[in-house]
A = this chain, B = another copy of it.
Amino acid sequence: MARNKVADVTESTVKQRLLRAALDLFTERGYAATSVREIVDAAGVTKPVLYYYFKNKEDIYLELFREPFVNFSKVLEDAYNEKGSVRERIVRLFDLIFELFVSRLKEARLMYSIYYGPPQGAPFFDFDSFHLKMREVIGLIVRKGIEKGELRAVDADIATWLLNGSLNFVMEEQLCHRSPMIDRSGLLRILDLVFEGLTDKKRKKR
């Protein structure tokens, strides 16, 4: 079926509206407690419209994470291929991941709630893959940094935990139920400390 631009725009709007409605309901009431009927009502469409875009409730749920994961993987791949010092590459990458996270706070909240909460019958999405992929790519960049002498000869795995933990903590702060106490600029300052350390190395040698 041939589609013109206007039709495509409308389609994507309806699909987005369904995703948005499902996301709101899943986060507010929980996945199990939300019905397809409630999703279509909230989106202001009919059931056949939902079934045109999605197979079922499971499919909408999975779609909520598929796209962020694709974007996330893309950002990581680009970062891996970027030029610049290892430190610059890590800072730029963390900045992008943070931005991506902030643009998807509701999805992140749902992810946490499903990951830590009762299973609720939601289909399996491999949330760990965010963490594992991050670990892999940052690990490679850190190893490169050590190889090139840009980083000290530290344990690359431990350094990766430290870096990713710094990012993770600042991201989670954005999910809290009050105003976050740290933002993007705070993250960049934390990273400076990660690279430079809390102690003065010269002092230790005396």
Once A109-B116, A112-B112 are accepted as A-B contacts, the answer to whether A199 and B195 lie under 8 Å apart by CB is yes
A59 at the interface (CB under 8 A from B): no
- Interface members, chain A 163-200 (any B CB < 8 Å): 164-166, 168-170, 172, 175-178, 182, 186, 189-190, 193-200
Q: What's the nearest-Cβ distance from chain B to residue A182, in Å?
A: 6
Q: Is the CB of A164 within 8 A of B154?
A: no
Number of copies: 2
- The answer for the CA separation of A182 and B135 in the assembled complex, in Å, is 12
How many residues of chain A get a CB closer than 8 Å to chain B's CBs? 54
- Stretch from A10-18, A24-32, A48-56, A70-78 forming part of the interface with B: A24-32
A83 at the interface (CB under 8 A from B): no
Q: Is the CB of B178 within 8 A of A190?
A: no
Closest to A117 in B: B113
Q: What's the nearest-Cβ distance from chain B to residue A112, in Å?
A: 4
A118 at the interface (CB under 8 A from B): yes
Q: Is the CB of B198 within 8 A of A159?
A: yes
A155 at the interface (CB under 8 A from B): yes
A45 at the interface (CB under 8 A from B): no
> Which B residues are in CB contact (< 8 Å) with A30?
30, 117-118, 120
> Which B residues are in CB contact (< 8 Å) with A151?
198-199
Q: Is the CB of A169 within 8 A of B164?
A: yes
- Interface members, chain A 105-146 (any B CB < 8 Å): 109, 112-113, 115-118, 120, 128, 131, 142, 145
Q: Which of B27, B162, B182 interacts with A194 by CB under 8 Å? A: B162
- The answer for the CA separation of A190 and B161 in the assembled complex, in Å, is 7
Shortest 9 CB-CB distances between A and B: which pairs?
Answer: A197-B197, A165-B169, A113-B117, A112-B116, A113-B116, A30-B118, A158-B189, A117-B117, A196-B197
> Which B residues are in CB contact (< 8 Å) with A170?
161, 165
Q: Is the CB of B150 within 8 A of A165?
A: no
